[in-house]
Structure formats: C-alpha cells, structure tokens
Amino acid sequence: MASRSGNRYLRRMNAPAALPRQRKPDWIRVKAPVSEGYHKTRKLMRDLNLATVCEEAACPNIGECWTKKHATVMILGDTCTRACAFCNVKTGMPRAVDPLEPEHVAVAAAELGLEHIVVTSVDRDDLPDGGASQFVKVIQALRRNTPNTTIEILTPDFRNKSEAAVEAIVEAGPDVYNHNLETVPRLYPTIRPGARYYASLRLLESVKRHAPHIFTKSGVMVGLGEQRLEVHQVMDDMRSAGVDFLTMGQYLQPTPRHAKVEEFVTPKAFDAYAAIARAKGFLLVAASPMTRSSYHAGDDFKKMQQARQAQLARTNAAA
C-alpha cells in the first residue's frame, strides 16, 4: 500500500499544470499602492462602510488615484446580481440597501475635498427600480452637503426598467451620465451575457432625449477579440445616441477564471482609434492602455465643458 506522502506525490504528478501567467507588455506597468494618501483614502472608505469600484474591480490605477484622494464610490453594496466575464466584482444575492449610504457618500466627498465625484454601482436586478432611487438619493445628498462638487454617475443598464430609471436620475441632475457599452455586439453573449447591446444604446439615447445639457459618456474595452471595424461601428452607434465622451482602455484579465486577453493593443493603435473617434465628432476622447471610465474624470469634465463652449462659439459664429 502506498504511503500518504506517496499518494500526495502521485496526485501532484497527475494534477493539471497551472496555466502560465500572461506576461504584460512594458507599457502596462503600475506601481504598488503604498503612499500615505492611498492608506488614508482606504481608511476613510472603510470607516464609512463604502465600497469602491477601484478595489472591487481590481483597477490598475488605484495607487495613482487614491494617492490623489480620488476614489470611485460603488453604491448598492459590493455584490452584483450578474456575472460578466470581464468583471472582478463578486456575484451573489446582495444585502439590503443601506439607507445611510447616500449621506456617507456625501461625507466622503467632503472629507476628500472632491471637486468632482464619480459614483457607480453593482447591478441590482433584485430591486424593483434596479437601484435608481439610490442614485437619486446620493445625488441629492451631494447637492446638499457639497454643492460645489460636480457629479458623474456610472449606472448599470436597469434591465427592463431603464426608461423610468433614467427619468428619475436625470431629474436629480447629475453633471455627467456614464453608461459603458463595454464591448462590441458580437461579444455580448460571452462577455456581457446579462445585458443587451441595443438596450444600453437606448439608455444613452434616452438620457440625451430627456436632458440634452447633461454630458453623456460611454466606454469600451479592447483586447477581447474584437475587430477594428467593429470598434468603429460602436463609435458610430455611440454618436447616433448622442454620446459626448468616449473612453477606451485595455482589458486586463482579473483572475484565471475570467475571459482571457486576446490581444495587448499597442499605444500606437490606441492613438489611431482616438483619431478616428475625434473625426466622428465626440466632444472628448480618452484612449490609452490604462484608460478606465473614471480615470482623470475631474480633469476630463473640465475639458468637456471647454469643448462644448468652443463648439457653441463655432455654431454662433456660423449663424
């Protein structure tokens, strides 16, 4: 009879080999978050019982952003009702909505001294309104407590309830409404199976229809196996929906169980995408390997304001 140590040896010999880690190119390197600002931001979020997409989605820019005390708050808890193949946020049955969360977000904005805040959420298909009312309450709390802070929201698609959700949120008056298309339509069944591409487009279109003055924003990841012309078509679809600001970044695989990276898109290719997007008429384009939806969002908001003013000036001059 084989000994226990022998059995363990045989099991190790017969076990499947671990998959080698994908080596990232030199242009995708970030420093570990070790600064004092990072630790202070993290402590504040824990003290206020707030989740952040920076942590939950394993954002590679967390060290840089938190050092500057810029954090993207994720409301409605840290558990999503969907399981997208690209996302590191955990899936399961979420807890009850925290009634103190809106005030805590406002306190965080004040403590961090934020001129611009980005608020996102998990998908909450379990809620009758998809969580739209919590977005409204957060916007209202921020307006009361930090009236000079501009507000950017990044919402889910509010599946089967988007029209009512958009109406309520737009009425609350965010400065920027972001909803990411994430990828090209062909890849939705495998990458974003719980969502529908054209439903997301209609949501963005609905925001513009209800409130033309609110900046709209959407983002896509590349490196998932999409084709160049498919990305160009997504840009056209966004422009047809009135989207002002396009963000585009490299998809990075959070864990081995997530969708794998099919390609590391070069900085030169990102520059080419950005040039095409600008030619298609976006007010602003941010396209680079490390670009994420809320990366440098405050600076980008100011650029959008300037771009709109310049656009209006050109229109008035031509009239």
pLDDT, tens digit (0-9, with 9 covering 90-100), for 31-66: 655 566 677 777 877 888 787 766 655 566 566 665
Q: What is the pLDDT of residue 293?
A: 84
pTM value is: 0.87
Q: Tell me, what's the pLDDT at 296? A: 80
Q: Are 191 and 85 in contact (CB under 8 A)?
A: yes
Q: Which of 55, 54, 48 is nearest to 101 (CA)?
A: 48
Residue 250 to residue 98: CA distance in whole angstroms: 33
Which pLDDT does position 89 carry in this prediction? 86
pLDDT score recorded for residue 203: 98
CB 151 within 8 Å of CB 175: yes
For the segment 258-272, the average pLDDT, to the nearest whole number, is 96
pLDDT per residue as tens digits for the range 112-164: 888 899 999 999 999 999 999 999 999 999 999 999 999 999 999 999 999 99
Checking DSSP bridges between strand 245-250 and strand 284-287, what pairing results, if any? parallel
| Identity of the amino acid at 123 | D
Rounded to the nearest integer, the mean pLDDT of the chain is: 87
Digit-coded pLDDT (tens) for 179-230: 999 999 999 999 999 999 999 999 999 999 999 999 999 999 999 999 999 9
Distance of alpha carbon 240 from alpha carbon 283, whole angstroms: 14
Strand 79-80, strand 90-91: pairing: parallel
H-type helices in the chain, by residue range? 4-14, 36-47, 53-56, 62-67, 101-112, 132-145, 162-172, 188-191, 197-210, 228-240, 267-279, 297-318
The tokens describing 20, both together, are: 């080698």
State residue 144's pLDDT score.
97
Asked if pLDDT for residue 10 goes beyond 80, the answer is no
Residue pair 156/142 in contact by the 8 Å Cβ criterion = no
pLDDT for 215 equals 97
- Contact between 101 and 70 (Cβ < 8 Å): no
195 closest CA partner among 207, 216, 180, 206: 180
Question: Would you state the pLDDT for residue 24?
Answer: 80
User: What band does 2 get if pLDDT is binned at 50, 70 and 90?
Assistant: very low
User: CA nearest 179: which of 202, 211, 150, 147?
Assistant: 202
CA 147 to chain centre: 24
Residue 16: the pLDDT is 41
DSSP annotation of 224 reads: S
